[in-house]
Amino acid sequence: MIGPGTGVRVYLACGVTDMRKGIEGLAALARDVLRQKPASGAVFAFRGRRGDRLKLLYWDGQGFCLYYKILERGRFPWPGSSEGSMRLTSAQLAMLWEGIDWRRPDWGAPPARVG
């Protein structure tokens, strides 16, 4: 994904977001609901009602970037809380963007030790 690198602050907006909102509407949510500065360089993640749509809002220093993804199958993993926000790591954001459940990733069994 083109965008913010590792170490960026990530805020996930719990609950449901109207996916008709564009940059201005999402920036207002980041400011008014999440109580964060939209142009701070953090990434703000929003999910729609059906769970198959995800928008990321990010200020890159020159302007806002809006990333939008719709899954063909499945839903993006999301916390059960209906309001507020959660902090994610950049690694968790990468898993979220790929549709992987960042809350409990399945890394598989550790390799067998030889010797």
Q: What is the DSSP string of the chain?
A: --S--TT--EEEE-S---TT--HHHHHHHHHHTS-S-TTSS-EEEEE-TTSSEEEEEEE-SSSEEEEEEE-SSS-----S-SSSEEEE-HHHHHHHHTT--TTS----PPPPPP-
pLDDT the model gives residue 84: 79
pLDDT per residue as tens digits for the range 3-14: 566 678 999 999
pLDDT for position 102: 80
pLDDT in tens, 33-79: 899 999 999 999 999 999 999 999 999 999 999 999 999 999 998 88
Quick one: pLDDT at residue 106?
Answer: 62
**Integer Cα distance of 16 and 81 in angstroms:** 10
Instruction: Report the alpha-carbon distance of residue 44 to residue 88 in Å, rounded.
Output: 10
pLDDT of residue 108: 64
Q: Which residue has the higher pLDDT, 1 or 46?
A: 46
Predicted local confidence at residue 79, as pLDDT? 84
State residue 80's pLDDT score: 75
